[in-house]
């Protein structure tokens, strides 16, 4: 393993959010090889012993990969200092510590992945691996006017973004159902794209990551990924 910031290691192992991990370090609760850790310090979990409140962090010997159909109203974080509901409460029966790969904002639902395999998480999240994410959005507004705009490059938070694909699934009274795929993963990107085109979002559901689809998994439920599904996320399309 390569050295990483301690706050990132704590977050990746489900101990706390990145901000929460920094608070643990500042409070003197994190030690590396018996020495109190500092903000910005790096370590190698394969070599160094990192402990929180005296309990060492151990790398899991059995990698776990699951998908959750996240409902609205849950934060995608391992903990929340304001006592709000987090996705961790929905997977408490997994049997081992896992952490979410990427995010879905509180008012969005759909496909969310969890693992304890850092290399796998990086491959799914990092833009260089080009894992397209697809969303179905119920909107209110003039969809005929918005569609051409959604297909063009636009500035979101001072960054140029462009949808990989935009499709009108069907029109509804006062709006429609859209399918939008993106390659980036900027904060609330799809919401901001739609809003910039005059559309009001009623529901937003992530239905696929790459070739992996949410399917019929019920809201609030989780299941293990199959070997075939893990291969799809790695870009290998073959039979089990």
Residues with Cβ within 8 Å of residue 178, at least 6 apart in sequence = 136, 137, 139, 143, 150, 166, 167, 168, 169, 194
Residue 166 has φ and ψ, to the nearest 5°, of -135, 125
**Catalytic choice (105, 109, 117, 142):** 105
Closest CA to 176 of 194, 153, 156, 154: 194
CA distances to 20, 108, 113, 127, 152 from 102, rounded to whole Å, are 17, 13, 8, 12, 25
Taking each helix axis from N to C end, the angle separating 143-150 and 189-196, rounded to the nearest 10 degrees, works out to: 120
Distance CA 105, CA 89 (A): 16
Can 80 be counted among the known catalytic residues? no
Give the active site residues: 105
């Amino acid at each position: 393993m390569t050295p990483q910031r301690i706050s990132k290691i704590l977050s990746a192992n489900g101990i706390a959010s990145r901000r929460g991990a920094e608070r643990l370090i500042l409070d003197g609760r994190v030690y590396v090889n018996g020495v109190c850790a500092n903000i910005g310090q790096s370590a190698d979990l394969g070599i160094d012993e990192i402990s929180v409140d005296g309990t060492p962090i151990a790398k899991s010997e059995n990698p776990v990969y699951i998908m959750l159909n996240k409902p609205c109203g849950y934060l995608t974080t391992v903990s929340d200092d304001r006592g709000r509901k987090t996705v961790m409460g929905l997977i408490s029966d997994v049997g081992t510590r896992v952490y979410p790969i990427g995010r879905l904002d509180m008012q969005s639902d759909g496909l969310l992945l969890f693992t304890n395999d850092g290399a796998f998480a990086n491959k799914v999240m990092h833009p260089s691996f080009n894992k397209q994410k697809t969303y179905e959005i119920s909107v209110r507004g003039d969809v005929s006017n918005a569609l051409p705009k959604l297909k063009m490059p636009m500035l979101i938070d001072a960054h140029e973004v462009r949808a990989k694909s935009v499709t009108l699934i069907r029109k509804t009274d006062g709006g429609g159902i859209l399918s939008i795929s993106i390659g980036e993963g900027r904060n609330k990107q799809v919401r901001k794209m739609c809003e910039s085109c005059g559309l009001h979002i009623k529901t937003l559901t992530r239905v696929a990551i790459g070739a992996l689809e949410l399917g019929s998994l019920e809201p609030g439920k989780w299941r293990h990924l199959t070997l075939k599904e893990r291969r799809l996320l790695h870009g290998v399309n073959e039979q089990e």
